[in-house]
């Protein structure tokens, strides 16, 4: 897969092959229309969130990139887009564009395999690359099961801090079965995590009783270190335990 395709998939949550049917028009109300607004008939979806995987055959309003020469009516292209507006139709912002023949091999391959979409393999590769980078930035990576949970009591920034955006620190006891990296011994370790659902913290992992997984641990610093040597903060600090094999394979 060409490197520019990989870069565009990273930038754009939705891509599709389509033909421009109208310029200076839109299928969605309340969308500003100018000479860079196009209506595109979708022929194939390349990658998309679940809600937009069945766009083939429909028309999408595309606000064309200022950095690219606008296509003409009748031109076909692979459009890479973001910033969806969904009402009576779908409107998106173009972030990149490629000739259809660049993505045709992926479309043909998906038709011959069990991949759900043409870029499914590429998305998995990108996900694995990101997982390796996240693991490399962690102080430890382990697999294990959650065997206990309790609120962190007392001390600065304690679990009972009710100020705005308070993290509501909790402690998870994880019975470590495998150490992939880091200075951790198999057996029980204590891990600190924010249990708050506040916007500052809601995406951080919230361990659950008996939950198995692969855990990306970060050294606890400052006054928080009194509670636990490691903490979970990033949304990707928890992965299904089955991802260990993918991590090991991607590192080879």
CATH number of the domain within which 216 lies: 2.40.50.120
- 8 A C-beta contact, residue 151 and residue 191: no
Q: Please state whether beta strands 230-231 and 187-194 pair in parallel, antiparallel, or not at all (unpaired).
A: parallel
Q: Which position has the token pair 């809601």?
A: 202
Pick the last residue of a domain from 80, 113, 146. 113
The reply to whether 11 and 103 lie within a common domain is yes
Host domain of residue 54: 3-113
Q: Name the band, by pLDDT with cuts 50, 70 and 90, for residue 116.
A: confident
Both structure tokens of 115: 């991949």
Calculate mean pLDDT across residues 110-122.
90
- How distant, in Å, are the alpha carbons of 53, 75, 96, 147 from that of 48? 5, 22, 15, 37
pLDDT at 88: 74
Q: What is the pLDDT of residues 93-103, one digit of tens each?
A: 999 999 999 99
The reply to whether 151 and 237 lie within a common domain is yes
- 8 A C-beta contact, residue 243 and residue 131: yes
Q: Name the band, by pLDDT with cuts 50, 70 and 90, for residue 3.
A: low
Pick the last residue of a domain from 59, 87, 113. 113
Within a domain: residue 122? no
Q: Name the band, by pLDDT with cuts 50, 70 and 90, for residue 30.
A: confident
The reply to whether 244 and 138 lie within a common domain is yes
Q: What's the number of CA atoms in the CB half-sphere (13 Å) around residue 221?
A: 3
The reply to whether 143 and 221 lie within a common domain is yes
Within a domain: residue 157? yes
pLDDT at 28: 87
Within a domain: residue 125? no
The reply to whether 54 and 93 lie within a common domain is yes
The reply to whether 159 and 93 lie within a common domain is no
| pLDDT tops 90 at residue 170 | yes
pLDDT at 156: 45
pLDDT at 142: 98
The reply to whether 79 and 138 lie within a common domain is no
Residues above pLDDT 90, as percent of the chain:
84
Within a domain: residue 121? no
Q: Name the band, by pLDDT with cuts 50, 70 and 90, for residue 161.
A: low
The reply to whether 39 and 150 lie within a common domain is no
Q: What is the pLDDT of residues 202-228, one digit of tens each?
A: 999 999 999 999 999 999 999 999 999
Q: What is the pLDDT of residues 41-69, one digit of tens each?
A: 999 999 999 999 999 999 999 999 999 99
In 3D, which of 77, 63, 83, 82 has the Cα closest to residue 16? 77
| pLDDT tops 80 at residue 5 | yes
Q: Which position has the token pair 């500003």?
A: 32
The reply to whether 231 and 155 lie within a common domain is yes
The reply to whether 81 and 140 lie within a common domain is no
Within a domain: residue 138? yes
pLDDT: which is higher, 151 or 158: 151
3-class DSSP assignment, residue 13: coil
Within a domain: residue 79? yes
Distance from C-alpha of 148 to C-alpha of 208, rounded to nearest angstrom: 9
| pLDDT tops 50 at residue 188 | yes
Pick the last residue of a domain from 78, 113, 148. 113
**Mean pLDDT estimate for the chain:** 92
Within a domain: residue 118? no
Calculate mean pLDDT across residues 139-166.
78
Q: Name the band, by pLDDT with cuts 50, 70 and 90, for residue 245.
A: very high
The reply to whether 81 and 174 lie within a common domain is no
3-class DSSP assignment, residue 16: strand
The reply to whether 96 and 160 lie within a common domain is no
Within a domain: residue 124? no
Phi and psi based region of residue 134 (left: phi greater than 0; alpha: psi -120 to 50; beta: remaining): alpha
Q: How many domains does the chain contain in total?
A: 2
Calculate mean pLDDT across residues 120-148.
96
| pLDDT tops 50 at residue 179 | yes
């Amino acid at each position: 897969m060409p490197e520019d395709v990989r870069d565009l998939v990273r930038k754009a949550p939705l891509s599709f092959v389509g033909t421009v049917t109208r310029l200076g028009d839109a299928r969605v109300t309340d969308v500003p229309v100018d000479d860079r607004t196009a209506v595109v008939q979708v022929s194939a979806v390349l990658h998309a969130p679940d809600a937009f995987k069945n766009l083939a055959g429909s028309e999408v309003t595309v606000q064309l990139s200022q950095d690219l020469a606008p296509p003409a009516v009748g031109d076909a292209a692979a459009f890479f887009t973001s910033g969806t507006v969904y009402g009576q139709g779908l409107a998106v912002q173009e972030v990149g564009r490629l000739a259809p023949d660049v993505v045709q091999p992926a479309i043909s391959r998906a038709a011959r395999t069990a991949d759900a979409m043409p870029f499914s393999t590429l998305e998995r590769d990108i996900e694995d690359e990101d997982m390796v980078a996240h693991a490399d930035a962690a102080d430890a990576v382990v697999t294990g099961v959650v065997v206990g949970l309790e609120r962190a009591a007392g001390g600065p920034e304690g679990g009972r801090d009710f100020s705005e955006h308070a993290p509501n620190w909790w402690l998870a006891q994880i019975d470590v079965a495998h150490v992939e990296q880091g200075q951790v011994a198999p057996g029980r370790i204590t891990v600190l995590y924010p249990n708050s659902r506040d916007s500052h913290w809601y995406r951080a992992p919230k361990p659950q009783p008996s939950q198995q997984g692969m855990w990306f641990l970060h050294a606890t610093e400052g006054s928080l270190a009194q509670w636990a040597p490691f903490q979970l903060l990033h949304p990707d600090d928890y992965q299904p335990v089955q991802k260990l094999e993918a991590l090991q394979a991607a590192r080879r």
